[in-house]
Amino acid sequence: MRFSYYLPILPSLAWFGRGDIRGNCGFACGLSTAKGNFFQLGKHFYDGAMQAQVSPIVEPRPFLKWAGGKSQLIPQYTPFFPKKYGAYFEPFLGGGAIFFHLRPTPATLIDINPELVNVYRCVRDAVEPLIELLQTHRDRHCQDYYYQMRAWAPDSSLERAARLIYLNKTCFNGLYRENSKGRFNVPMGRYKNPGIFDAEVLLAAAAALRGVTIQLASFEAVLDLAHSQQDFVYFDPPYHPLSATSNFTAYSRYSFKPTDQVRLRDTFAELARRGVQVMLSNSDCEFIRELYQDFHIHTLLAARSINSNAQRRGKITELLITSYGPSSVKP
């Protein structure tokens, strides 16, 4: 079942989540009472107490920019989603575009990146204090502050989550990359007014995540969870590189090698054997086509948006693979 989320915001406070007061500390401090009222309104919304619908519909959508994000591909994916399913599982969470589009219930989201899992849990469980911390980051943003935050290793879950969102929205090209020690190492991007956060989007995401299980684990953990044709699993792994310079699997210290692609295929095949409805996206190359030759392979046209050379960003084909045929997909 799909829902639309309404965020009641007073017109006089509508600018509050848009960064118009960055750097104006006196003005911001003078609005502390209004700020409290804003978050109280958000709480009423978040708790499900529907009030006057005075603002546009806020659809849940990704609040992070993530390599390989699927927002732009959803229109092409839609015909291939299963007609019916019960439980939903997504073992490579990333930006969560497919989850936010489908809004399935029940749902289990899985990722091996502890910082990513933490930020989703904080959005789900503590979105209001998270927004307050992000407001501080936005007010203080500058080059020196960015590199201070990049070097900082906070202890609390909320501070870690706010730091990740801040760095994600202000770093070069929105690229998440870690060194071998798990430290974020991307330089600051050249943005005049980076959109560090949108309170409405975060509140809508929090509402969509209510009741969702968010698990820190490898993709193979889904084998313990999905067992029947009532289950739907979507895999969006690090894509197999088309060349030595397009190895996006290096964006995390958890590299994804060809042997891992084989393990993933074996997991896909086992789920399919059980009757689970499985969908997977990956790069369009001979290696992936051979791995999944026993399943349904669909070719889509995607935009390559993350590349150090802007001239190399553009259209490219990629694969969408399903364990089920046309009779099982939406008309």
314 and 235 in one domain? yes
Range of the domain at 18: 5-58+118-205
Question: How far is it between the farthest Cα atoms of the chain?
Answer: 64
pLDDT at 237 exceeding the cut of 60: yes
Of 159, 183, 205, which residue is a domain's last? 205
227 and 169 in one domain? no
In a domain, residue 78? The reply is yes
pLDDT tens, position by position, 79-124: 999 999 999 999 999 999 999 999 999 999 999 999 999 999 999 9
Per-residue pLDDT at 186: 85
- Work out how many domains the chain is built from and give that number: 2
236 and 88 in one domain? yes
- Report which of 304, 197, 191 is spatially closest to residue 241, judged by C-alpha positions: 304
128 and 38 in one domain? yes
Per-residue pLDDT at 314: 65
Give me the torsion for CA of 47, 53, 55, 58, rounded to 10°.
Answer: 50
pLDDT tens, position by position, 166-198: 999 998 877 777 777 677 788 888 887 788 899
pLDDT at 134 exceeding the cut of 60: yes
In a domain, residue 297? The reply is yes
In a domain, residue 63? The reply is no
Assessment of whether the complete model's pTM goes beyond 0.75:
yes
263 and 147 in one domain? no
Per-residue pLDDT at 42: 46
Q: Check which CATH number belongs to the domain holding 307 and give it.
A: 3.40.50.150
CB 185 within 8 A of CB 261: no
The share of the chain scoring above pLDDT 70, in percent, equals: 75
CA distances from 195 to 20, 64, 65, 199, 224 (A): 11, 11, 11, 11, 39
In a domain, residue 232? The reply is yes
In a domain, residue 262? The reply is yes
191 and 42 in one domain? yes
166 and 53 in one domain? yes
pLDDT tens, position by position, 270-295: 999 999 999 999 999 999 999 999 99
Of 176, 205, 234, which residue is a domain's last? 205
Per-residue pLDDT at 254: 65
Instruction: Identify the weakest region by mean pLDDT among 47-51, 72-76, 214-218, 262-266.
Output: 47-51
In a domain, residue 157? The reply is yes
In a domain, residue 169? The reply is yes
The gap from C-alpha 279 to its chain's centroid, in whole angstroms, comes to 17
252 and 197 in one domain? no
147 and 97 in one domain? no
CA distance from start to end of the chain: 18
pLDDT tens, position by position, 242-271: 876 555 444 455 689 999 999 999 999 999
CA distances from 90 to 23, 206, 247 (A): 39, 17, 22
85 and 225 in one domain? yes
* 151-176: average pLDDT: 90
Per-residue pLDDT at 331: 65
Q: Check which CATH number belongs to the domain holding 40 and give it.
A: 1.10.1020.10
In a domain, residue 21? The reply is yes
97 and 126 in one domain? no
Q: Name the region of 254 (left: φ>0; alpha: ψ -120 to 50; beta: rest).
A: beta
Of 174, 205, 236, which residue is a domain's last? 205
90 and 228 in one domain? yes
